[in-house]
Amino acid sequence: MDGTKLSPQAHQRLTDELAERTGPTRRHISELIERARELGDLSENGDYHAAKNEQGLNEARVRQLEFMLKHAVVVESTTGEMVEAGTVVDVLMEGDDEPSTYLIGSIEERGTGYDVISPGSPLGKALLGHTTGDVVTYEAPSGKFSVEIVAVRPPD
């Protein structure tokens, strides 16, 4: 199985989030549960049920982060000559007048200032390995589309 490809910044951000969720966040939720238990009857205790729900959501994210980080492949900056994970690509979609800019990478790269395309998506797969000036065609659920690669570069 190929790991999730992450930039060093995204890997660090996820590592920090995991530390926060397994430390301070867990302790805070435990305190909320304990305080809610002190209120008595748990069957009709909204605070208790809300805290338990928050605990479940936190633990699910912890498991997701642990798995992702265990299998992550940290992608160092690229030369930006060819489309690969970690590059920024400008593409001109059929019928568009202006190119759209995307970062090729994991959804965990969101917040980098670019819209993100997964390398495993139909468009992402079609773009990988191509360079500026190439026209690639890909099959999407709504039909077949062609895009022209206008520029490829490393992220800012």
- Per-residue CA distances from 1 to 73, 94, 121, 132 (Å): 11, 34, 16, 30
Q: Which of 74, 98, 133 is the last residue of a domain?
A: 74
56 pLDDT above the threshold of 90? yes
What's the pTM? 0.65
**CATH number reported for the structural domain that contains residue 107 in this entry:** 3.10.50.30
133 plus 94 within the same structural domain: yes
For residue 103, what are the domain limits? 88-153
pLDDT in tens, 74-115: 877 666 688 888 788 999 998 889 999 998 887 777 666 788
10 plus 63 within the same structural domain: yes
How many domains would you assign to the chain?
A: 2
97 plus 145 within the same structural domain: yes
50 plus 103 within the same structural domain: no
